[in-house]
Amino acid sequence: MKQLVVFSICVAAFGADADLILHHGKIVTVDSGFRIVEAISIKGGRITAVGTSANILGAERTSRTRVVDLGGKTVLPGLIDAHVHALEAGLSEFKSTLPALDSIAAIQNYIRTAARSTPKGEWIVVPRTLPPRLKEMRFPTRQDLDVAPDHPVAFDGSYVWGANTLALKISGITRDTRNPPGGEVVKGPDGEPNGILRNASQLLKGVTRSGSFSEDDKVAALREMLQLYAAAGLTAVGDRAVTPAEVAIFEKLKARGELPVRVVLTWRINAARPVEQVVSEIQASSWTTNQGDDWLRFGTFKVTLDGGQSVGTAYQRMPYGPFGRQLYGQTDPDARGTLFIEPEKLYRIMRAARDKGWQLTAHVQGGGAIDTLLDVFERLDREKPIAPSRSHVMHGSFMSEEALNRMQHMGVIVDVQPGWQHFDVPALQKVFGLENMRYFFPLRSYIDRGIIVAGGSDHMIGHNKNTAVNAFNPFFNMWASITRRTREGQVVYPQERITRQEALKMWSIWAAWLQFGEKTRGSLEPGKFADLVVIDRDYLTCAEDDIRRIEPVATMIDGKIVFGRI
Ligand SMILES: [Zn+2]
């Protein structure tokens, strides 16, 4: 009787008669007390009780209950990646697989292979590759890409593109071509274009980026990608840049009842237009935060405020310096990157979105961009408290003590990509110096200030969870958050390391919080959705380096297995 009294505390008002009971496990609930229990019961897709195996089996089991002995296995809440680009990633390997492009030689091999199956004169586009991750740590030039001279070749480095000699020729790009606004046609020592186009890829004529995909292809590619997320242990993702046409693809998949995981959409508006036009599009749109249901809904309104640290266009507080020339093809050592939206315009856009009820964010990587966004958030905060909207800094790679304090003061939260710490710090530290890496993804500093930190990958290319750009294996990303170990093995600013418990919260309850989903998911508690992942080793006690090697055994959403088996 005494046990029953204890147990009744943990039961929601659903009564007995579970559909499913998992017992004899190590179930990490991630509730407010970070409780670990042995058993969980599920009915109608919801968790009805958690507790000891004896209690749950005793009170919740009937003749129709399916009972699964976990054999001591660890169970975590269904993991959430707050930042992916599912459709783009799904299409990237929908028709053919991509090789790992980790050196200029590998890029040249890719071009030579593509040339064999591509008719002469047609474009070859090297899929998005980030220069800091190349062995040579330099941006490929026209000469590097000239290994298939009968094909125009473009290298997709995100905000900065590379072009070979033929690509420049057919696009009419010469030593006399004027730089587009905010962009640069980079010249070599001889005054000729060296093939690097900084914020100027629009000068390339006739390049098709992703081949041609039918609407059905897109739906199928999205479905495949979301299934791979489920296989990685994810039960919800935030898709961080959708257009109206892309929203329709998600809706189509949902209408068929085929969404493999829950999705929260971020509407990224094109702000490179007159402010009146952007504002009236926001006002005319019927979308806003939390519109939709538990499978598909809108989360955030986003603009892109600066470029990328991987290509030397993030808007920094300090100059890129001499190494920027090698890594990014930067010609001006005093360059600080690009701010795409001037502050007054940003304020007017954000104010219009705020007035429509949106949660706000902006892509900001460089410190200068972070400071600009926080200036605007402060202006809005003075008009009406911003904290309830859960507005956030997206990436925020180059934080500062002052920016951290401003975020804490306003109740602004953050969406981070700690995997970049692992992949990009070796090159970035050569650009900016170790001292300027002090607040690069400062997870400990955020958490100690009570700033909610949502974990994400920024997955955009590739289907393999470990080799994709960016790796979306949540266990790799949690490992990166815990260890701060770079790909060269060093630990930069170990005082920013966090615990396993905190890393797990970043990929569960805190990511759910950013998505306004913490009442229904992100932890294993009675009344919440039965979204969980069973894993092959104990996340909390395995050797630290084994965390990145954890594999899901089964993933469950709404009490139904969506990957694996138990
Ligand atoms: Zn992104």
**In angstroms, what is the span from residue 470 Cα to ligand 1's centroid?**
10
Report CA(63)–ligand 1 centroid distance (Å).
48
User: Would the CA dihedral through 71, 77, 83, 88 be positive or negative?
Assistant: positive
Q: Tens digit of pLDDT for each residue in 64-99?
A: 999 999 999 999 999 999 999 999 999 999 988 888
Between CA 249 and CA 258, with CA 255 as vertex, the angle to 5 degrees is 85
The Cα angle at residue 553 between residues 547 and 257, in degrees rounded to 5: 120
Is residue 453 a contact partner of residue 446, using CB atoms and an 8 Å limit? yes
Alpha carbon distance 458, 439 (integer Å): 19
Residue 215 CB partners (closer than 8 Å, separation 6+): 249, 252
CA–centroid distance, 36 to ligand 1, in Å, is 34
Q: What separation in Å is there between the alpha carbon of 548 and the centre of ligand 1? A: 22
Direct distance between the N- and C-terminal alpha carbons of the chain, in angstroms, rounded to an integer: 32
CA of 366 to the centre of ligand 1 (A): 14
Q: Residue 272 Cα, ligand 1 centroid: separation in angstroms?
A: 18
Tell how far the Cα of 167 is from the centroid of ligand 1, in angstroms. 28
Question: How far apart, in whole angstroms, are the C-alpha atoms of residue 512 and residue 426?
Answer: 31
Ligand 1 centroid from CA 42, angstroms: 35
Q: Hey, what are 471's tokens?
A: 């790796």
211 CA to centre of ligand 1 in angstroms: 21
For residue 460, how far is its CA from the centre of ligand 1 (angstroms)? 7
Render pLDDT for 271-293 as a digit per residue (tens, 0 to 9): 999 999 999 999 999 999 999 99
Question: Ligand 1 mean position to 236 CA, how many Å?
Answer: 16
Distance, in Å, from the CA atom of 77 to the CA atom of 234, rounded to the nearest integer, reads 9
Contact by Cβ (8 Å): 7, 51: yes
Ligand 1 mean position, distance from CA 458 (Å): 5
Inter-CA distances, 38 with 70, 105, 563, 564, Å: 9, 52, 22, 21
Q: Which two tokens stand for residue 384?
A: 């009406």
User: What spacing in Å lies between the alpha carbon of 53 and ligand 1's midpoint?
Assistant: 42
Distance 85 CA to ligand 1 centre (A): 6
List all residues 6 or more positions away from 82 whose beta carbon is below 8 Å from its beta carbon.
237, 238, 415, 454, 455, 456, 511, 514, 515
Give the pLDDT of residue 15. 55
Cα–Cα distance for residue pair 421/442, rounded to 1 Å: 10
Separation of CA 74 and ligand 1 centre (Å): 31
How far apart CA 519 and CA 505 sit, in angstroms, is 14
Alpha carbons 139 and 168: distance in angstroms, whole number: 17
Ligand 1 centroid – CA 479 distance (Å) = 20
To which residue do tokens 């242990």 refer? Answer: 233
Q: Are strands 36-37 and 26-28 parallel, antiparallel or unpaired?
A: antiparallel
Residue 333 to residue 503: CA distance in whole angstroms: 37
CA of 82 from ligand 1 middle (Å) equals: 10
Distance 89 CA to ligand 1 centre (A): 11
Model pLDDT, residue 2: 39
Ligand 1 center–CA 455 separation, angstroms: 12
CA of 83 to the centre of ligand 1 (A): 6
**What's the pLDDT score for residue 128?**
85
Distance 166 CA to ligand 1 centre (A): 31
Burial class (CB in 10 A: 0-12, 13-18, 19+), 135: exposed
Instruction: Identify residue 369 by its one-letter amino acid code.
Output: A
Q: How far is the CA of 459 from the centre of ligand 1 (A)?
A: 7
pTM: 0.92
CA of 88 to the centre of ligand 1 (A): 11
Pairing of strands 552-557, 560-564: antiparallel
CA–CA separation, 54 and 63 (whole Å): 16
CA angle, 517 as apex, 512 and 520 as ends, to 5°? 110
- The CA 490 to ligand 1 mean position distance, Å, reads 26
DSSP state of 273: S
Please give the distance, rounded to the nearest whole angstrom, from the Cα atom of residue 350 to the centre of ligand 1. Answer: 19
Q: What is the reported pLDDT for 9?
A: 44
Give distance in angstroms: CA of 181 to centre of ligand 1: 24
| Distance from residue 225's CA to the centre of ligand 1 (Å) | 16
Summarised one tens digit per residue, pLDDT across range 435-469 is 999 999 999 999 999 999 999 999 999 999 999 99
pLDDT tens string for the chain (566 positions)? 334 444 444 444 445 799 999 999 999 999 999 999 999 999 999 999 999 999 999 999 999 999 999 999 999 999 999 999 999 999 999 988 888 899 999 999 999 999 999 999 999 999 888 888 999 999 999 999 999 999 999 999 888 999 999 999 999 999 999 999 888 999 998 999 999 999 899 999 998 755 679 999 999 999 999 999 999 999 999 999 999 999 999 999 999 999 999 999 999 999 999 999 999 999 999 999 999 999 999 999 999 999 998 889 999 999 999 898 888 888 888 989 999 999 999 999 999 999 999 999 999 999 999 999 999 999 999 999 999 999 999 999 999 999 999 999 999 999 999 999 999 999 999 999 999 999 999 999 999 999 999 999 999 999 999 999 999 999 999 999 999 999 999 999 999 999 999 999 999 999 999 999 999 999 999 999 999 999 999 999 999 999 999 999 999 999 999 999 99
